[in-house]
Each structure stands twice: as C-alpha cells, then as structure tokens.
C-alpha cells in the first residue's frame, strides 16, 4: 500500500512538475489534469486558440506513454470520424463491428477541441463515453481504456441541448495567453520543448495510473463529509448548481487530491478543487470566496500535507467582478424579488464584497466596493 501511495507523489514530481517548467503560466491547468487523470474524470478548458490546450494533453500522454486521440469537432462531424467506420469485411458477413484502430475507443487520452460543436449525431455516444467509459453502437458494447477526456472551447454552452454534455466535465478551467512580462519565458520554454521531442522513458506508466485509479475506493472521506455537505448546501444557496449526481462524483476529485499528496484520508484542504466547478465565468469569484473561507479553517496538521493548490489565493479579476455586480444590478432593477431571492442576492453580494478586498489596484477596488455597497443599500430599501 505504501508503494502505491508513493505513486501519487511520483506522478506529481516526475510528470506534473516538469510539465510546469515547459508550459509557462499553465500550473493551474496542469494540476487539474493530474487530478482528473487520477480520478479518471473529465476536464473542460475554456480559452482562445493557441493557448497550449492540445499541447498540454499531448505532453502529459507522452510522459506516461499513453495513446492520444485528438480531434477538432465541427457541426458536421460524424460518429465515424470519432469512433471509427464499420469494418467492411465484417459487414459483408452480416456483422456491424466498428473498426476503432487509431480512434477514440482505443485511446487512453482524449482531447476534443471545439467540444461544443458536437451535434446530435454523436452526442449520445459521447455522453456514454464521458460518463461510463463505454462505447455502444447497435449491439456492440465496449469498455474503454480512456483515463481522461479533455474538452476545449472558446465559449461556454448557450444551447440547452449541450448542457448535458458540459455537465459531464466535472472541473473547468481557463487557458489564456500569458501576461506580457511572461512572454520571453514562454518563447524559451517552447523552444526547448520543440528541441526535446524524442521519447523519454516513462517514470510513471499507464499501469501506475490505473493502480492509483483503483486506490480511489480505499480513500476515507469521513473526516470532511459534514463539511462537504454543508459546503454543497451553501454553494447551492448562492446560485451554483450542484446536482446530487454531481455532488457524488466530486468525491472522486477530492480523493484524487489526497492521493496526489500521498494520503488515504481526505482532509479539508482537498476542497480546493471545488473552485473549479463553475458553470459561468462570473461564478468563479463567488466560488473562490466560499472555498477560501473553508480552507482558512484547516488545521496546521492538514495544511502540512495539503495540495499546493489549496493555498494558492490568486487575486480576483476586476472585470469579472464588475460583470457579476452588473448582472446583480440588472436583476435588482427589474424588481419584484421574492424574499427568498433577496436573501440569496444579499449573500452573493457579501461574497463579492469579500473578493473585492483582494483586488490589487486601489482605484478598482474602491469602485467595486462602492458598487456592492450601493446594491446592498438598495436591497435594504426593498425589504
């Protein structure tokens, strides 16, 4: 058991940390890729083209010698392009068998770019892959070796039909172009990466990752269960939709964080991953405020064995805060808020006020705090 537990730390030290040196400014995404890999879950990356989304997945697969299926979806993509065509030889014999060579059903790593272009022709099959790691076509059913599916898009779903697809990606993260001052480092790291394309012997293998997958069921969540239940209720109250099914699945993510830290017991610090369950970009700061509040209550013993990402308190984005404040302003202006909704909006404003305090620019911070206070005053008058 101790040897298997060491695999979590080894994955971090020999795979994830070296990747961070090759991909400047992508530490957060790389940590989440590691979490989803161990949990055998899916990650959605939001961002424009050219921000290394595909390259990150390719590099992770290369470092543990995994098979990659990488595909750009369009509105006209057909199931054959993803899962493979029917085997003509078997078809002549009256059997509908898919030739999956080099296609998604044989991959351990799947990257689907422009995921939200998925059409109804492939949607149902894709949902089964994402949720149960099963490919079904007619009478044909296959259990897939897929460890992680990464979907990417430069926008969030606007069609209700794609809501079920988006929901299958437990964690979400942004990938943007790096800040101007980091560009020189990006160019140097990118050049080095291009010069090192030859295969290196994997220090962590697919079999090692599968052993970590199987260890999930041995992780003890009892120490944080009460805190987690309370947290889910609190997040629902401030407008973050967490279905019962999703709440159950997120426990795998918490367990994966513990395993990567070499632990078989989930503690309060592992709740950091819940910063990444947003449905809209505006929810990111509300989530960060709630989760950071919980993390502050972690004991020193818990912090000593915590995931590094649990104490990463990035400054909030002023523009994103302003957009959320404007959204609430519009809702209040429309009027006729029931008493329950007034309580919900007041709680949201309280969380946003807490996040405003972390804005670096004093002028922006003052402006945002003033706007929040004005809305709180208007709510008080409406009671």
* Mean pLDDT computed over 337-347: 74
Q: At which of 291, 311, 331 does a domain end?
A: 311
pLDDT digit string, tens, across residues 38-72: 999 999 999 998 888 999 999 999 999 999 999 99
Q: Based on the domain organization, do 175 and 32 belong to the same domain?
A: yes
Q: With a cut of 60, say whether residue 181 has pLDDT above it.
A: no
Q: Is residue 202 part of a domain?
A: no
177-191, 259-273, 368-382: least confidently modelled range: 177-191
Q: How confident is the model at residue 326 (pLDDT cuts 50, 70, 90)?
A: confident
Q: Based on the domain organization, do 103 and 172 belong to the same domain?
A: yes
Q: Based on the domain organization, do 271 and 361 belong to the same domain?
A: no
Q: With a cut of 60, say whether residue 195 has pLDDT above it.
A: no
Q: With a cut of 50, say whether residue 173 has pLDDT above it.
A: yes
What tokens were used for 75? 């509105």
Tell me, what's the pLDDT at 97? Answer: 82
Q: Is residue 334 part of a domain?
A: yes
Q: Is residue 270 part of a domain?
A: yes
Q: Based on the domain organization, do 322 and 307 belong to the same domain?
A: no
Tell me, what's the pLDDT at 94? Answer: 61
Task: Tell me which DSSP letter residue 178 carries.
Answer: P
Q: Which residue has the higher pLDDT, 220 or 351?
A: 220
pLDDT digit string, tens, across residues 233-292: 999 988 899 999 999 999 999 999 999 999 999 999 999 999 999 999 889 888 988 998
* Mean pLDDT computed over 129-136: 94
Q: Which residue has the higher pLDDT, 102 or 92?
A: 102
Q: Based on the domain organization, do 32 and 180 belong to the same domain?
A: yes
Q: Based on the domain organization, do 121 and 156 belong to the same domain?
A: yes
Tell me, what's the pLDDT at 356? Answer: 85
Q: Is residue 85 part of a domain?
A: yes
Q: Which residue has the higher pLDDT, 380 or 20?
A: 20
Q: Which residue has the higher pLDDT, 351 or 271?
A: 271
Output the pTM of the full model.
Answer: 0.83
Q: Based on the domain organization, do 139 and 15 belong to the same domain?
A: yes
Interatomic CA distance for residues 323 and 310, integer angstroms: 26
Let me know: does 260 contact 32? Beta carbons within 8 Å: no
Q: With a cut of 70, say whether residue 348 has pLDDT above it.
A: yes
Q: Is residue 287 part of a domain?
A: yes
Q: Based on the domain organization, do 146 and 254 belong to the same domain?
A: no
Q: At which of 311, 332, 366 does a domain end?
A: 311
Q: Based on the domain organization, do 272 and 225 belong to the same domain?
A: yes
How many domains, the chain? 3
Tell me, what's the pLDDT at 324? Answer: 82
Please give the backbone phi and psi of residue 347, each rounded to the nearest 5 degrees, phi first. -65, -40
Q: Based on the domain organization, do 18 and 100 belong to the same domain?
A: yes
What separation in angstroms does the CA of 127 have from each of 135, 149, 201, 258, 378? Answer: 10, 11, 34, 28, 44
Tell me, what's the pLDDT at 61? Answer: 95
Q: At which of 311, 340, 355 does a domain end?
A: 311
Let me know: does 77 contact 119? Beta carbons within 8 Å: yes
Mean pLDDT for the chain overall: 87
Q: Based on the domain organization, do 293 and 371 belong to the same domain?
A: no
pLDDT digit string, tens, across residues 68-87: 999 999 999 999 999 998 77
Q: Is residue 67 part of a domain?
A: yes
Let me know: does 79 contact 136? Beta carbons within 8 Å: no
Instruction: Please give the residue range of the domain that contains residue 335.
Output: 318-382
Q: Can you give 64-128 as a three-state secondary structure string?
A: CCCCEEEEECCCCCCHHHHHCCECHHHHHCCCCCECCCCCHHHCCEEEEECHHHCCHHHHHHHHH
* Mean pLDDT computed over 349-374: 83
Q: Is residue 205 part of a domain?
A: no
Domain with residue 98: its CATH number is: 3.40.50.300
pLDDT digit string, tens, across residues 12-31: 999 999 999 889 889 999 99
* 274 CB-near residues (< 8 Å, 6+ apart): 231, 235, 250, 287, 291
Q: With a cut of 50, say whether residue 328 has pLDDT above it.
A: yes
Q: Which residue has the higher pLDDT, 258 or 363?
A: 258
Q: Is residue 203 part of a domain?
A: no
Q: Based on the domain organization, do 291 and 336 belong to the same domain?
A: no
What tokens were used for 155? 């926008």
Which residues are registered as beta bridge partners of 150? 43, 111
């Amino acid at each position: 058991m101790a040897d298997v537990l060491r695999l979590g730390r080894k994955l971090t030290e020999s795979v994830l940390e070296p990747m961070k040196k090759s991909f400047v400014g992508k530490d957060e995404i790389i940590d989440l890729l590691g979490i989803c890999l161990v949990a055998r879950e899916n990650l959605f990356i939001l961002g424009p083209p050219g921000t290394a989304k595909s390259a990150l997945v390719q590099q992770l697969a290369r470092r543990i010698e995994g098979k990659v299926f990488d595909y750009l979806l369009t509105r006209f993509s057909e199931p054959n392009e993803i899962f493979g065509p029917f085997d003509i030889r078997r078809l002549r014999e009256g059997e509908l068998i898919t030739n999956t060579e080099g296609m998604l059903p044989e991959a351990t790593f799947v990257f689907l770019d422009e995921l939200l272009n998925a059409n109804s022709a492939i949607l149902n099959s894709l949902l089964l892959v994402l949720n149960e790691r099963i490919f079904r076509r007619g009478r044909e059913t296959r259990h897939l070796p897929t460890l992680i599916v990464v979907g990417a898009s430069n926008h969030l779903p606007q069609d209700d039909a794609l809501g079920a697809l988006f929901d299958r990606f437990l964690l979400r993260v942004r990938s943007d172009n790096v800040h101007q001052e980091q560009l020189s480092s990006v160019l140097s790291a990118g050049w080095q990466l291009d010069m090192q394309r030859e295969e290196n012997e994997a220090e962590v293998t697919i079999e090692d990752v599968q052993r970590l997958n199987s260890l999930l069921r041995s992780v003890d969540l009892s120490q944080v269960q009460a805190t987690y239940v309370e947290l889910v209720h609190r997040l629902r109250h401030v407008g973050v939709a967490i279905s019962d099914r999703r709440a159950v699945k997120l426990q795998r993510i918490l367990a994966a964080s513990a395993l990567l830290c070499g632990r078989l017991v989930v503690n309060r610090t592992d709740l950091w991953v819940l910063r990444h369950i947003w449905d809209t970009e505006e929810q990111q700061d509300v989530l960060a405020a709630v989760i950071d509040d919980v993390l502050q209550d972690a004991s020193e013993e818990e912090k000593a064995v915590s995931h590094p990402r649990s104490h990463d308190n990035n400054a909030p984005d002023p523009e994103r805060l302003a957009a959320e404040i404007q959204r609430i302003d519009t809702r209040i202006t429309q009027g006729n808020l029931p008493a329950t909704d007034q309580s919900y909006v007041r709680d949201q404003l309280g969380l946003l006020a807490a996040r405003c305090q972390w804005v670096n620019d004093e002028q922006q911070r003052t402006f945002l705090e003033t706007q929040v206070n004005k809305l709180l005053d208007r709510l008080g008058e409406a009671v």
